[in-house]
Every structure is written in structure tokens, then in C-alpha cells.
Structure 1
Amino acid sequence: MEENFGDVLARAVRGGADDVDVAASVLAAAADWDAVAARSAEGAVRDCGRRGWQPQDLVRMAARELGPLHQRLAAAEGGLGAFARAERLDRFSAATAYVELLCLYARLPAIPALLAAAPPGEAAAPPKMLARIRALLAKAESTGYPDEAEALSAKAQHLMARHSIDAALLAASHEHPDAAGARRIGVDRPYEGAKALLLDAVAEANRCQSVWSSELGFSTVVGHAPDLDAVELLYTSLLVQADRALHRGRTSRSRDFRESFLIAYASRIRARLTAATAEEESATPGLLPALVSRALAVEDTTRRLFPTTTTSRLKARDAAGWQHGEDAADSARLR
């Protein structure tokens, strides 16, 4: 039965809905369907790994291309039978979702394999510091007072910047090369271009480089471990703050307004964060050689991962949306 399932699964990958139904029927009819499904999934995930995909990437793609049910299936740790019981699905429905997920995995293109972000001797952010930063950003996201949100976000930014500077100085004191790594961060619909622009703004201000893969729904951020942590935490928080500001007061806004809002928000955030980073760096004597070394490492790693890239421009079409976006960014500024 397992051999037959492999054959029909291969046809489903190349075919359409009817082939998916046939593969799902074969899997649902297998007496040991849990074992058959597990072995097929192990092979699919292993093959994706050879093409550069990490497990968390697969969960994100399941959500993006298929939906919440498939996302939960991709993240499930038990067998297919346990998943079917938890979701209250019959065998055929559960098998159909499984086949659709495996077909998605098989069709994913090859992408650059990511590199580890921290060389030996470089300190990762202490768990207590990360917990404190997350708590500050969570409060900034939940408060209804822009001044309070600004103060909380600024405090979190200073903690992240200080740890990044300490890590740069520590790395410079070692003889090993100052290697950079990379991390994929999801850029979700809608307005992916504007959101990728915001992520790029946060990355640039934190000494990283960001490359957006528009067709796959993520950006690859290249940098050093503490800087990558800062980018991911701050980008997530700023998205929440932007969404709250976008929907404050009025419930109905045009698509052009929303997109223009987010483009202006990203542009203003870039200027504010860059100024804040420069201010923090100027307070640390002797930092420039360490920063130059890390910047060169980031540039070299980005070129190796992405030897060819293109630049795209986003155009804001709504003046009111642009103005509201700038105002919201001013409230969230992180000096």
C-alpha cells in the first residue's frame, strides 16, 4: 500500500484535484495510514531541507498557500490519526489535507540555505534581556497612548542597541572572523511590498540587509545574532502599532490609503531608527572598526546568498494616507 501511495502521490504532485482525491483515498484506506503518512512526510521534509527550506518555513508556506488547517497540520507533532481526531476530521478529509500539504512541499523551488548567525565567542542576548524587551514592546503595542508607546519602544530599542554594541566589541576582541548569518521573516498579505519596505527600514537601522522574495512571502535578513533578534522583535511590534494606528477612528479606508499609509510609515521609521542608531553608536568610543568589520561581513554574506538582486519602487497614491502614515510613525519613533 505504501508503494502505491508513493506512486499516486507523485501523480498528484504533477496533476490536479482528481489526482489529489485518488492519493487521499489510497492513504485513507491504508491500515497503517499513520506510518505511511509519517514516512512520506519525513521524506518530503528532508527533500525540502536539501532545497534550503527549514521546518518553520514550511509551516509559514502552508499557511500562506493553503490555509490555517494546513498550517496546524504542518506544525503538528503527533501522527495523522491524532490530528484527525483533534480536528474532528474523517479519514478522507484528513488524508486530503495531508496530500495537499505534501504536494505543496514537492513544488517548492530551491532557495539559499541559511547560515548560522553567531560565530564562536559571540554572546547571544541573555534570555532575561529578551524577555524584558518583549515585555516592553508588548506594552507599547497594547497602550492607547502614543507618548507611552514611544517611551516603551524607545527603552526597548536602547536595550537592543546596547547589546548589539557590546556584542560587536566582544567579537572584535577575538581572532576568529566576524561571520554573519541570515534569518527568514514572513511578510504577509496584504500590502506585502509596503511591509517588506518597513522590514528593510528596521534591518538597515540595525546594521542588517534585507532581501524580499515577493513570490514566496518572506524576506531574508542578513546580519549578526543580536541584530537579527532586534530586527525581528522590532518589526513585529511596529507592524502591530501601525495596524492599530491605521484602523483608529475610521473603519473604512481605501486600498490606496492603506498602502500609502504603510509606505509613509516605513519611510519615516527608517529615518527615525537610523538617527537613533547613530546617536547610540556615537556614545561608544572606539566602536567604528568593529562596525566596519561587521558591515563587511554582512555585505559579503548577502552577496553569496543573493548574487543577483533587483530593486523595486513603491508609489504612494493617496496624500491623506501618506500624511496619516507619517503621523503614526512620529508617534512610534524610537529615538
Structure 2
Amino acid sequence: MRRGALDFETALDVLTGVPAAEVDTVLTDALETEFDRLFRNGWQPGELHRAVARRGNPIQAGLVADAARDFQRNRSPVDDRWRAQAESLPPFQGRRPDRIAVLDASLALLDELRRLPAIEILVPPPGTPLTTIPHHSDQRILDRVRALLAKAEATDFAAEAEVYSAKAQELITRYRIEEITAPAVDLTPFARRIGVDHPYENEKASLLDAVARANSCRCVWSPELGFSTVFGFDADIDAVELLYTSLLVQANRAMTRDEPAKGKARVKAFRRSFLVAYAYRIGERLRQTTEREMAAHGNLLPVLRNRDIQVREAMNKVFPTTVRSRVSRVDSLEGWESGRAAADEAQLR
């Protein structure tokens, strides 16, 4: 029996020389301990699966999916949101891996899980009391917004995408106006974590932040964990998530269409600069659309200011200290100009 600190390769060699029954029991127990710690301390199934899957090992992603389903199995009650995430995770697909590959993936996963910190509990984990969160979003409005954004993503004509995206933002703003001018309703700001995929995570997080600010929300980007936490009222957060997802699709399509044909370094600089400019210009245009709609409905500034204070207070409770991130450097004028042009295509004047 080897004891003490071992480097990864030595530990893997030791495990391959020990009877499988002994290794599997100990390694499974160690992984279950870490899954239990993370699921009890804020990590939702979709978030943990995404954090692991982005490393590119399908065996590890499959282990997370299995663990999430097992974690909820003998616990009650289970929040519907937690259950839906766990049941939607894809199982491991492909040929059955050999034992060495499984040991390698499991040992590396154990090391990665131990590095992950506890995070804010936004959805109660299985076995804990459920929290009643009234949802105020109008599903019919959201369906109309989804339909408009789907048309914007599907068309190859910039003018059409421009019209559909702008109408989606106008619809969102009008719905928000109806909500804040309705008879007094007890609304409370919430938080939701939205994943930001690589590559170019910082630039994509800037796009999410621009969309959030235009819709009265606030973002905190956690680059080491690969997600942003969005604070706001539930209907506003729904709108932010829908818009961000759609605009990112449109940005990727325009970026691929316009990028230079040769030179890896040139393409990388182009894409980074494109996304910086796209996020900046999208933020401008979304704010213009919102301000125009708000101005047409009288003086709503006192109400909006009060809602903004509530959102900031909710953010400060979770993140009492934040650091303002630096804007990514623009190394490609071609990318910057193309990004601004693509942002203009995505929204009406």
C-alpha cells in the first residue's frame, strides 16, 4: 500500500496494479464524496456537467451525469428545476472505454472536483426544503420573443435579422413597462448563472454584460468557473438569456462570414476584436431601443431607479466585493469594424 502525496502518473500506475474490486470501491467513494459536497453547496447538475465537459473528456462528463441522477434518487423533496437538469444530461455515448482510460479520467476528475469551490445556492439541492419562487414572466410573451429571435438566426439577410432582433427587444421592453406600471406586486430580484463557452470567454461575457445592462440586470463574471451570475427580476433575466443566446448565434455567423481567410494569429486577433466591438455596439443599440420605448410611456425614472437599487443590493449580498474587469485589447481594426457592422445588422436604428 502506497501512502502520502503522489504525482498523477505515479498514482495512476499504482491504481492499475491493485485489484479492480479494491480500487473501484475506494475511487467511487471518493468521487461520491466530492459530488455530494458540490451538489450540497450550490452546484446544479447542468453547471457541474458543463464545467467538466468543457475539458473535453466524455468519460468525465458521463460520470457527472450519472452522479447527478444518483444524487437525487433517494432524496426528497427534489426541486423541479434540479430534476429537469439532472434528467436532461446526456449519458456517456460511444464504445465502452478500457479500464486504464476510466481510471485515468476518474482520477483526473477527482482532482478537478476537489479544486471547485462552494458557490451560492440558487436552486435548493435534493433533500432540502423547497423555496417558493413566484415566476412573473408571461410565457406567451417569451414564446413570441423566441419566435422572433429564431427568425433572426435563420435568415441570411441582414435587414431581416435586424428587424426581428429589434422587434424582440421592443416586445421585451413593452412587457417590462406593463409590469412596472401594473398595480403593486411583490417582486423580488433573483439570480441565475449563465454559462459562457470558450473560446473567447471574456469577450462573450462582455456581450452578456451589455445585454444584461440594457435590460436592467447586473452581471458578475467568474472566469475560473466559466459562468456569469445575472441578477435582476425574473422576467428581465429570462429576456437577457434569450437575447444573449440569439445574439451570440448571429455574431458567430457574421464573424465566420467576414473573417480573413489565412493566418491563425490574424484570425484570432480578428475574432477577439470582432466580439469586443460587437458587444460594445450591441449594448449601445439595445439601450437606445429601451430608452425610446421607456420615453414613450411617461416618467418611469423613479420606478426604474428603485428597481436598480434592489438589483444592486441583491448582487452585493452575494458578491460584496467585485473587481471591474479590463476590456480586451483590440488588435485588429478589420475585426473591430466588422464587429460593429454585424451589431448594426442585428438591431434596427
**What is the TM-score of this pair, normalised by structure 1?**
0.81
1:18 aligns with 2:10: yes
Return 97-106 or 312-321, whichever deviates more.
Answer: 97-106
CA distance in 1, matches of 2:179, 2:311: 15
Contact 1:196 1:212 in 2 (8 A): yes
Which of 283, 286, 290 aligns to 1:273? It is 286
Question: In percent, how many aligned pairs have the same letter?
Answer: 43
Q: 1:325 to 1:23 in 2, by over 3 A?
A: same
CA distance in 2, matches of 1:241, 1:130: 19
Any residues of structure 2 matched to 1:136-175 within 5 Å, and which?
A: 136-170=148-182, 173-174=184-185
Which of 127, 132, 138 aligns to 1:125? It is 138
Q: 1:120 to 1:109 in 2, by over 3 A?
A: closer
Which residue pairs with 1:233 in the alignment? Answer: 242
Report SS of the residue matched to 2:119. Answer: coil
Which residue pairs with 1:251 in the alignment? Answer: 261
**How far off its partner does 1:321 sit?**
1.4
Paired residue type of 2:52: A
Report SS of the residue matched to 1:133. Answer: helix
For the aligned residue pairs, the C-alpha RMSD in angstroms reads 3.4
CA distance in 2, matches of 1:134, 1:22: 53
**What is the TM-score of this pair, normalised by structure 2?**
0.78
**How far off its partner does 1:266 sit?**
0.9
Deviations 1:11-60 (A, max 9, x none): 79x8523324545776x8239969984x6554322201344322222111
CA distance in 1, matches of 2:13, 2:303: 58
CA distance in 2, matches of 1:83, 1:22: 29
Paired residue type of 1:161: T
Any residues of structure 2 matched to 1:241-320 within 5 Å, and which?
A: 241-249=250-258, 250-252=260-262, 253-285=266-298, 287-311=300-324, 312-320=326-334
Paired residue type of 1:173: A
Which of 338, 344, 347 aligns to 1:324? It is 338
Deviations 1:98-148 (A, max 9, x none): 3432332221123333379x986551331x443332232222112110011
Gaps of 5+ in 2: 71-89, 125-130
Gaps of 5+ in 1: none
Paired residue type of 1:19: A
1:108 aligns with 2:116: yes
1:29 aligns with 2:29: no
1:98 aligns with 2:113: no
**How far off its partner does 1:84 sit?**
6.5
Paired residue type of 2:43: W
Contact 1:242 1:328 in 2 (8 A): yes
Which of 34, 48, 57 aligns to 1:44? It is 34
> Alignment length, in residue pairs?
318
Report SS of the residue matched to 2:257. Answer: coil
